[in-house]
Structure 1
Amino acid sequence: MARRYDPDRRQRIIDAAIRIVELKGIDVLSHRTVAAEADVPLGSTTYHFASLDDLLVAALEQVSCAPQTAVHIWSEALEDETPLTDGITSVLEEYASGRRGSIRLEYELYLAALRRPPLQPLAAQWLDDMVAVLARHTRDLPTARALAALIDGLLLQFLLTDRDFDREEVRSALARVTGEQ
């Protein structure tokens, strides 16, 4: 049997892995589930990605480098002249209103780095990039780091609870860190 030319297969495998992680979580990810989701032979997944870590690195690179990643969204949202706390609150509110799946995907991949050393450099770079975006709008680097930690905590709490987004509560918490009133 002749091999079928399929130049997009590697990308379909990455996209399938991202969909699985977003919808079902990282624990469900396997070469078999990815092959089924991508509609490719099982051997194709192991041909392109010898290990699941290799596949997760490719998925995290795609998620963190795409134009609509968290870092790009934050960077664009904070460029206007509104107070920093208002800008951050608006982005968090946008996330809460319809980006639950993408938030889960980003944190699934980000937190996977705790147990998967190949993902650690990418996750660390993602965090550093986020802090760099925030640092352009804060008085110093420690404040930017504190804001990044607060944002992570707020987003994780949002994922874990069914509470409605409380704009004033979020803005107030952010203002404590930034010193804005």
Structure 2
Amino acid sequence: MARRYDPERRERIIDAAIRIVELKGIGALSHRTVAAEAGVPLGSTTYHFAGLDDLLVASLEQVCGGPRGAMKDWEEVLAAQAQPVAQGSAAEGPGPQKRRPLADVLTDLMEEYAHGGRGRIRLEYELYLAALRRPALQPVAAAWLDEMVEVIGRHTADVATARVLVALIDGLLLQLLLTDRPFDRRAVRSTLARVTGET
């Protein structure tokens, strides 16, 4: 009997891997658990992904990128609302909306991200930090970092400031996950403003 062609099977396998990592962590990921979660034969997972690193790379690419994921949203919001730090004063944006300080817009984005579900943040950071021990993930994680720096850097005086902001955002979000405390808008805004030089 001929095998039925299923063009969406690869995507279902990736989605299943993402669900497993989100709910149980990378330690629970295996070809067997992914096949069961995706509802596909075990051979399908090894057909599409020779090793778990291949599956993790595809998962990280989808989480970080598909299509460019959360960074696309951040890019659009920053372009529409944030005044470049170098300007130093509120500038008119497109339409009647005034541009706001970068620290305010970044705080809004982080708060929205945090309220979107800690499971999703946990998933993204678990995949991102897995690159520390899995070299196959490092290019994807580095590209994610570079993209964040590029997007935020369009609104800072220089690339160095953008890099510090990205590191700070990562640190604040990781602390949020580790402590399970509520998002403290005032503290986050104040911390970001110290880097941007805004009051």
Structure 1 length normalisation: TM-score?
A: 0.95
Match of 1:137 in 2: 155
Q: 2 CA distance for matches of 1:102 and 1:82?
A: 28
Match of 2:73 in 1: 73
How far did 1:101 drift? 1.9
Could you list the per-position Cα deviations for residues 23-76 of structure 1 after superposition, in whole angstroms to 9, with x for gaps in the alignment?
A: 111111110110000001111101110000011111111112214723112212
The match for 1:160 among 178, 192, 198 is 178
Match of 1:175 in 2: 193
What value does the CA root-mean-square deviation take over the aligned residues?
A: 1.2
Q: 1 CA distance for matches of 2:47 and 2:75?
A: 37
Shift in alpha-carbon separation, 1:99–1:68, aligned structure 2, 3 A: farther
Whichever residue aligns with residue 170 of structure 1, its letter is V
Would the aligned equivalents of 2:21 and 2:28 in 1 still touch at CA under 8 Å? yes
Match of 1:127 in 2: 145
How do 1:2-151 and structure 2 match up within 5 A?
2-67=2-67, 69-79=69-79, 80=81, 81-151=99-169
Would the aligned equivalents of 2:114 and 2:121 in 1 still touch at CA under 8 Å? no
Q: Percent identity?
A: 73
Structure 2 length normalisation: TM-score?
A: 0.87
Whichever residue aligns with residue 159 of structure 1, its letter is L
Q: 1 CA distance for matches of 2:7 and 2:66?
A: 20
Q: 2 CA distance for matches of 1:111 and 1:138?
A: 26
Whichever residue aligns with residue 146 of structure 2, its letter is D
Q: Which moved more, 1:52-61 or 1:92-101?
A: 92-101
Whichever residue aligns with residue 71 of structure 1, its letter is M
Q: 1 CA distance for matches of 2:173 and 2:119?
A: 12
How far did 1:93 drift? 0.8
Q: Which moved more, 1:34-43 or 1:60-69?
A: 60-69
Where structure 2 has 5 or more consecutive residues not aligned to the other structure, the ranges are: 82-98
Whichever residue aligns with residue 122 of structure 1, its letter is V
Shift in alpha-carbon separation, 1:174–1:140, aligned structure 2, 3 A: same
Shift in alpha-carbon separation, 1:99–1:76, aligned structure 2, 3 A: farther
Q: Which moved more, 1:126-135 or 1:67-76?
A: 67-76
Q: 1 CA distance for matches of 2:44 and 2:137?
A: 22
Match of 2:93 in 1: none
Q: Which has the larger radius of gyration?
A: 2
What is the number of residues matched between the two proteins?
181
What is the DSSP-based 3-state SS (H/G/I as helix, E as strand, rest coil) of the residue aligned with 2:132? Answer: coil
Where structure 1 has 5 or more consecutive residues not aligned to the other structure, the ranges are: none
